[in-house]
Chains A and B, each alone.
Chain A
Amino acid sequence: MDAQAQGPRAIDLYVDILLIVLLVAAALVVVSLRNLLAAALVLGIYSLVMAALWVVLDAVDVAFTEAAVGAGVTTVFMVLAIAATGRHARVTHRRPWLPILASLAVGGLLIYGTLDLPDFGDPQAPAQQHVAPHYLGQGEAETGVPNIVTAVLASYRGFDTLGEVTVIFTAGMGVLLLLGVARRRRMDARDDE
């Protein structure tokens, strides 16, 4: 590995670490804020930093979905819900060390588990071996789409994406039923009679 190839990769790693530090800081701020509206907006910043991190990790499609859906739509939903439920979280008097202890214990176990994972960016990792090389090598010829993420999403795994749309539809129906939009409209119609 010559020095020229090492340069840009090292910068990638520094940007990666910088974004991670920003992410953890934003997450801590979100948890500590008692004003829910402020917490929702900082969560939007967290999502946007996450989108920048996706670009560094080569996941450009994920990046713009995160920026549009994670930072945009989620924040709108949050603000709407907070407007309906009140913006101040009450101070909790329960012992805080119990959840902290539980989180640290689970986190410690998970970090112990990462020690066996392949190194970051290892091209020989098992995840890189199975069907991915086929998609990357044959994808453009088989589907005519140069963007392999789009090719897998819409062509190879098109039925799974149909399933995803079903999930979104079901969720939309659930929200409408829970908020009682249909019932209220029926009551309004009865009042008009």
Chain B
Amino acid sequence: MEALAHVNYWAAIALAMIGLYAIIAPSNLIKKLIGLGMFQSAIFLIYITAGKVEGGTAPIIDAAYEVYSNPLPHVLILTAIVVAVSTLAVGLALTVAIKRAYGTVEEDEIVEQDRR
């Protein structure tokens, strides 16, 4: 069990790095936004993991339970998920606007058109 004490953090880092790769490597703008979304949820995983208390239950007060997980990360991430979706919507709208202006959503083709 000792070796697994940080497994959730490592998983979150692995997911974040897959997201980071998906932001840098593809030239397609939609693919980059997908990577951004994966990076964001990886950060959420770090927060929720930090709030988990061993043997705890969901932070809804009831006489039958005594140990609860920390509610604060839940509140933060609840807000963050909604904000993430709004920023993603703006990003996707920008992509659609770029498609209208340039006729493509591939980054290198857009840069090439700008050079001309």
**Interface positions of A (Cβ within 8 A of B):** 5, 9, 13, 16-17, 20, 23-24, 27-28, 30-31, 36, 39-40, 43, 46-47, 50, 53-54, 57-62, 65-66, 69-70, 73-74, 77-78, 80-82, 84-86, 89-90, 92, 94, 96, 98-100, 102-104, 106-107, 110-111, 114-115, 117, 119-123, 125, 127-128, 131-132, 135-136, 139-140, 146-149, 152-153, 157, 160-161, 164, 167-168, 170-172, 174-175, 178-180
A-side contacts of B74, CB under 8 Å: 59, 61-62, 149
Report chain B residues within 8 Å CB of A61: 74, 78
**B69 touches which of A13, A23, A57 (Cβ 8 Å):** A57
Number of cross-chain contacts by CB at 8 Å: 267
Does any Cβ of A come within 8 Å of B30's Cβ? yes
Dominant SS at the A interface? Answer: helix
28 A-B residue pairs with CB within 8 Å: A5-B55, A17-B7, A24-B11, A27-B15, A36-B34, A54-B48, A58-B58, A58-B59, A59-B73, A61-B78, A62-B81, A84-B99, A85-B99, A86-B99, A89-B26, A99-B20, A117-B9, A120-B5, A122-B53, A123-B54, A127-B72, A128-B53, A136-B68, A136-B71, A152-B75, A160-B79, A174-B93, A178-B94
